[in-house]
Amino acid sequence: MTNISLLGDDCLRVNIEERENRHSVADHLRATDDWSEIVVGKHDITVQYEPYRTSPNDALLRLEKQLAQYSPLQKSPGTIFKIPVSLSDNDAPDLLRVAQYLEIASTALWDQLASLTLTIDMLGFTPGFAYMTGLPEAWEIERLESPRQSVPAGSIGIITGQCGLYALEGPGGWPIIGRALVPLFNRDASDSPLLYGANDRIRFLPKEREND
Partner 1 sequence: MIEVIGAGAQMTLQGAALSGYRHLGFPASGAADPLSMALANHLVGQKATQTALEITYGNASIRFSVPTQFAVVGASADLLLDKETTQANTTITADANSVLTIGPTQAGARLYVAVNGTLQANHYLNTHSTYLPAKLGGHKGRRLEQGDKIGFKTSESVPHKVLSEDITFVYGNSFALRATDGPDLRIADRDMMYGESFQVSRRASRMGVGLSGNYPLSQTAKTLPSSAVFPGTLQAPSEGEGFLLLADAQTTGGYPHLLQVNRSDRHLLGQLKPGDRVQFLHRTPEQAANDLIEKQRLFAQYMADFRL
- Our finding on whether 11 is near partner 1 (CB under 8 A) is yes
Q: Which of 194, 211, 208 is nearest to 84 (CA)?
A: 208
CA distance 58 to 7: 14
Looking only at residues 13 through 32 of this chain, which bind partner 1 when binding is defined by CB under 8 A? 13, 26
- Our finding on whether 2 is near partner 1 (CB under 8 A) is no
Looking only at residues 137 through 156 of this chain, which bind partner 1 when binding is defined by CB under 8 A? 150
CA atoms within 13 A on the CB side of 83: 29
- Our finding on whether 162 is near partner 1 (CB under 8 A) is no
- Our finding on whether 69 is near partner 1 (CB under 8 A) is no
Which residue, 128 or 206, has its beta carbon nearer to partner 1? 128
Out of 42, 65, 82, 207, the only residue in the binding site for partner 1 (CB under 8 A) is 42
Out of 1, 38, 102, 144, the only residue in the binding site for partner 1 (CB under 8 A) is 38
Q: Which stretch binds partner 1 (CB under 8 A): 33-41, 74-82, 90-98, 103-111?
A: 33-41
**Residue 202 CA to chain centroid, in angstroms?**
11
Contact 141, 101 (CB under 8 A): yes
Give the number of other Cβ atoms within 10 Å of residue 8's Cβ.
Answer: 11
Which residue, 56 or 104, has its beta carbon nearer to partner 1? 56
Taking the complex as a whole, how short is the minimal distance between the CB of residue 26 and partner 1, in angstroms? Answer: 7
CA distance 175 to 20: 28
Which residue, 36 or 117, has its beta carbon nearer to partner 1? 36
Out of 52, 103, 208, 212, the only residue in the binding site for partner 1 (CB under 8 A) is 52
Contact 120, 199 (CB under 8 A): yes
Q: Which residue spans within the chain are E strands per DSSP?
A: 4-7, 11-15, 37-40, 44-48, 80-86, 118-123, 130-133, 148-151, 155-159, 162-166, 170-172, 176-180, 201-206
Site for partner 1, rule CB under 8 A: 5-11, 13, 26, 36-44, 46, 48, 50-52, 55-57, 122-129, 150, 168-171, 187-188, 190, 193-194, 197-198
